[in-house]
Amino acid sequence: MDDTYRPIRVGYQGIPGAYSEEALVAFQETAEPVSFRTLPDLFAALTEGIVDRAFVPVENSQAGSVVEAYDLMLDHKVTILAEWIQPIDHYLLGVKGASPAVVERVFSHPQALAQTAAFIRQAQLDTEPYYDTAGAAQMVAERGDQRFAAVASRLAGERYGLSVLAEGIQTAKDNATRFFLISAGSYHFSPAGSPASGEGKTSLAFSVAHRPGALVRALSCFAREQVNLERLESRPSRREPWQYMFFTDACGYAYEPPVHNAIRELTRLNPFVRVLGSYPAAGIRRSGAAAP
């Protein structure tokens, strides 16, 4: 038997230097980061067993949900194992010798552009979305044009030889991104559960019948059990026109009686309910950086 230690392989979206890589290392420094160009590529690799886990950005405190991530969680059989919340610090990066005054166009991931919109508007810069923050930094470095800049992390700037033209350009100083650590395979509920220290969360998706009061009845399942819901978001079901899926995070572990009873009643009332995972609630780090 080969007892050689192999670090867990965790995939992230973006090229080396992406915020997601930086956040992954902060979350689990012993993991082996594996980069994938897009979120669909990442989820496909997880399903095929190319990586052991996926580290996925799902929500930003200012720009909102990464809707593609939630759609992909429904398209694949996956389980949320943990969450990680980390502050973001955005940098405007340009080629060596450039100055902020000569920059005309900024490239970055749409989420990063949204998170720095006030700075970009005040500087009167044109923007162009790019698939990844670090990818934008690499592209700017390769073009070598002083009129181009990227919004990315300091790590990306160091990796691709760019200069910091401005730092801390995020609109909100308490800007943070939430990540999920995800494994392949559907969530399996254990009635007994396993006691865990600290607070828990349970993420789930559900649909409701197309009739008056259906959503109210669904939410009442949690209200009757005194279960707090931290968020509720609707997305087109993509299975039937003008039908919607609802995503929510319930406070508490799925094995705890109030949460368990609420989900059981929700399942009885509605055509589709899927628990995506039950995991320890994350605290907010006060230093570091993370973004899609």
- Asked whether 148 and 140 are in contact (CB, 8 A), the reply is yes
CA-to-CA separations, 266 to 204, 221, 222, 225, in angstroms, rounded: 11, 6, 8, 12
Q: Among this protein's residues, is 116 annotated catalytic?
A: no
Catalytic annotation, pick one of 27, 107, 119, 179: 179
Fold match, 91-167 / 190-280: no
Residue 237: pLDDT band (50, 70, 90) is confident
Instruction: Evaluate if residue 67 carries a pLDDT over 80.
Output: yes
Task: Please say whether the structural domain 91-167 has been given the CATH code 3.40.50.300.
Answer: no
Phi and psi (nearest 5°) for 180? -115, 135
Give backbone dihedrals phi and psi of 160, rounded to 5 degrees, phi first.
Answer: -110, 15
Whether the per-residue pLDDT at 111 is higher than 90: the answer is no
| pLDDT band per the 50, 70, 90 thresholds, residue 172 | confident
Confidence check: pLDDT of 274 > 80: yes
The predicted pLDDT at position 194 comes to 56
Q: Which of 79, 177, 202, 248 is catalytic?
A: 177
Could you please state the CATH topology (level 3) that the domain comprising 190-280 is classified under: Alpha-Beta Plaits (3.30.70)
Report the amino acid identity of residue 101: A
Active site residue 30: no
Distance CA 286, CA 8 (A): 26
Least confident of 110-114, 183-187, 275-279: 110-114
The pLDDT value recorded for residue 192 is 59
Selected from 3.40.1350.10, 3.40.190.10, 3.40.1160.10, 1.20.1440.230, the CATH number assigned to the domain covering 9-86+176-180 reads 3.40.190.10
Distances (CA, A) of 236 to 8, 76, 102, 206: 34, 16, 43, 12
Say if residue 287's pLDDT is above 50: no
Phi–psi pair at 205, nearest 5 degrees: -125, 145
pLDDT for the residue numbered 1 = 46
- The dihedral region occupied by 193, where left means phi > 0, alpha psi between -120 and 50, and beta the remainder, is left
pLDDT above 90 covers a percentage of the chain that reads 75
The predicted model gives 219-238 an average pLDDT of 93
What is the band of 238 on the pLDDT scale with cuts at 50, 70, 90? Answer: confident
26-40, 213-227, 239-253: lowest mean pLDDT where?
Answer: 239-253
* Across 2-11, 45-54, 260-269, least confident range: 2-11
Handedness of CA 44, 47, 48, 53 (dihedral sign): positive
Greater model confidence, 138 or 195 = 138
Determine the Cα–Cα distance for residues 96 and 98; give it in Å rounded to an integer.
6
- Domain assignments of the chain as residue spans, ordered by start: 9-86+176-180, 91-167, 190-280
The pLDDT of residue 291 is above 60: no
Determine whether 220 is exposed, middle or buried from the number of CB atoms within 10 Å of its CB (0-12, 13-18, 19+).
middle
pLDDT at 197: 65
When pLDDT is averaged across residues 250-257 and rounded to a whole number, the result is 96
φ/ψ of residue 41, rounded to 5: -60, -40
Prediction pTM value: 0.85
